[in-house]
């Protein structure tokens, strides 16, 4: 009997999963394993010592994996957890796995992990497909190495020539299950953190809730707010781990437009999906340079690393109340609005003169919607070393406060009152 292994990574769902459907049709027995590909080799993309992820991140990941495990259990399957490459290799060899299916990856470390897995399992067939994007690579009129260097050029090309494929249902048939001596994903959630009610619901429920009211028709007017009821779709955590596909969100958007009408705001939701799409394929092109100090630029930024300033920013103890409140929101909830992320990143790079990579790495460990391409791509954008023809972004913190928290309610709620920041000792950092 042929045995297949489906390796879940950034696609934690069984619906709208063409790769899973193909493996189900091809295999007589099937093993389901989740593996955190970013950490299987034991090092991070940027070469720094990896920090522990926050409780919010672990809680959100745990509840998502539990839901996936429950869905698989309805078809008689268990979802196992592999913590290192050795476990994956051992399981594949013990059970004589013929085919391994894993979604395309866009992070450098994740891709290196897959290359090493292939090297150690040379006799196994590896199947790939992009489960994390709106489009497939072969839909583009350009090669990935020739992807436009600005988002506006990418958007214009894609909007005029590329369509979104229809979503798929769940597989009609699951092969027989295989029992493995690995930990079950249902056992991994031990030290949980209370998440906001919105992020505690299943992905499809959140998707339905957002598109059931009138919020999408006001999105362009509300999207820059810092908080509030449905000011944003707040679907990014499920998009990031793939429990909700970009195509499922796009399909829900089109259904909403057919029912309630299309306007500038509903288009802007698609516009933001295209931004996310651009960062994925750009990350694939950039490879390791997504994590280097000068990024896509010819020259590095004029910043360095000041440990006290960095700690003050992380803990929300800077001289800037709005930045403090936003960082405390992040540390408490695991999430922050898009405008908030731009504000704190601009402060990090411009006011505090810090190496952008440290801010990106902190976000990596704190955000429940961390996505390697979007996170590092956006930080490069703010720092002026990414896909931005204007050379970075510098937000006026006083003006941002007046615009988005004029009454100080957000700052008061999260305790962002200004604290003095002593001048730190200068610590140099290699400019790569």
Encode pLDDT of 229-271 as tens digits.
999 999 999 999 999 999 999 999 999 999 999 999 999 999 9
Cα 237 to Cα 243: distance, rounded to the nearest angstrom: 9
DSSP symbol at 295: T
| CA 91 to each of CA 5, 97, 320: distance values in angstroms, whole numbers, following the listed order | 9, 8, 52
> Confidence band (pLDDT; 50, 70, 90) for 428?
very low
> Confidence band (pLDDT; 50, 70, 90) for 43?
low
Determine the angle formed by the axes of helices 321-333 and 338-346, rounding to 10 degrees.
130
Q: How many CB atoms lie within 10 A of CB 20?
A: 26
> Confidence band (pLDDT; 50, 70, 90) for 8?
very high
Per DSSP, the three-state class of 33 is strand
Report the percentage of the chain scoring pLDDT > 90: 85
Residue 423 has what pLDDT? Answer: 46
Of the given ranges (48-57, 144-153, 306-315, 414-423), which has the lowest mean pLDDT? 414-423
pLDDT for 422 beyond 50: no
Q: What's the gap between Cα 105 and its chain centre?
A: 12
Q: 396 Cβ partners below 8 Å, 6+ apart?
A: none
Determine the angle formed by the axes of helices 372-383 and 356-366, rounding to 10 degrees.
150
Entry pTM: 0.93
**How much is the CA Rg of the chain, to the nearest whole Å?**
22
Closest CA to 147 of 280, 295, 288: 280
10 in Cβ contact with 114 (< 8 Å): no
Cα 346 to Cα 393: distance, rounded to the nearest angstrom: 7
Q: Which two tokens stand for residue 277?
A: 């799409």
What is the pLDDT averaged over residues 107-130? 95
Cα 53 to Cα 362: distance, rounded to the nearest angstrom: 9
Q: What's the gap between Cα 273 and its chain centre?
A: 13
What is the pLDDT averaged over residues 9-33? 96
More confident residue, 99 or 418: 99
What is the pLDDT averaged over residues 107-113? 94
Domains and CATH numbers, the chain: 3-131 (3.40.50.620), 133-164+202-286 (1.25.40.80), 307-413 (1.10.579.10)
Q: Which two tokens stand for residue 282?
A: 């750009």
Of the given ranges (179-193, 310-324, 345-359), which has the lowest mean pLDDT? 179-193
Helices vs strands, H then E, count in the chain:
17, 7
pLDDT for 282 beyond 90: yes
């Amino acid at each position: 009997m042929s045995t297949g292994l489906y390796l879940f990574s950034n696609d934690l769902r069984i619906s709208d999963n063409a790769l899973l459907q193909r493996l189900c049709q091809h295999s007589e027995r099937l093993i389901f394993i989740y593996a955190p590909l970013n950490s299987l080799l034991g090092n991070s993309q940027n070469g720094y010592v990896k920090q522990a992820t926050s409780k919010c991140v672990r809680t959100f990941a745990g509840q998502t994996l539990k839901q996936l495990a429950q869905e698989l259990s309805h078809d008689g399957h268990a979802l196992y957890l592999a913590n290192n490459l050795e476990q994956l290799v051992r399981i594949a060899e013990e059970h004589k796995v013929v085919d391994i299916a894993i979604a395309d990856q866009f992070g450098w470390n994740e891709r290196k992990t897959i290359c090493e897995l292939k090297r150690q399992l040379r006799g196994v067939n590896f199947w790939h497909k992009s489960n994390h994007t709106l489009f497939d690579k072969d839909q583009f009129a350009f090669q990935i190495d020739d992807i436009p260097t600005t988002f506006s050029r990418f958007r214009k090309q894609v909007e005029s020539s590329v369509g979104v494929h229809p979503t798929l249902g769940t597989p009609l048939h699951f092969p027989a299950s295989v029992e493995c001596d690995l930990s079950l994903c249902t056992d991994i959630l031990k030290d949980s953190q209370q998440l906001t009610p919105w992020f505690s619901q299943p992905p499809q429920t959140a998707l339905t809730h957002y598109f059931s009211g009138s919020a999408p028709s006001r999105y362009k007017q509300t999207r820059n707010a810092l908080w509030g009821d449905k000011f944003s779709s707040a679907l990014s955590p499920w998009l990031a781990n793939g429990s909700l596909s970009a195509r499922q969100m796009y399909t829900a958007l089109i259904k909403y437009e057919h029912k309630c009408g299309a306007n500038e705001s509903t288009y802007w939701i698609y516009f933001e999906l295209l931004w996310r799409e651009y960062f994925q394929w750009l990350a694939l092109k950039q490879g390791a340079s997504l994590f280097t100090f000068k990024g896509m630029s010819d020259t590095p930024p004029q910043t360095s690393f000041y440990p006290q300033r960095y700690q003050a920013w992380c803990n929300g103890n800077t001289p800037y109340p709005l930045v403090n409140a936003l960082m405390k929101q992040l540390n408490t909830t695991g999430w922050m609005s898009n405008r908030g992320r731009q504000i704190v990143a601009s402060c990090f790079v411009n006011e505090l003169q810090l190496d952008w990579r440290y801010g990106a790495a902190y976000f990596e460990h704190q955000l429940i919607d961390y996505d390697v391409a979007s996170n590092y791509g956006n930080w490069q954008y703010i720092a002026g070393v990414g896909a931005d023809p204007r050379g970075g972004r510098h937000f006026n913190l006083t003006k941002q406060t007046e615009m988005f928290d004029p009454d100080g309610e957000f700052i008061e709620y999260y305790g962002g009152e200004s604290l003095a920041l002593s001048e730190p000792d200068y610590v140099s950092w290699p400019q790569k």
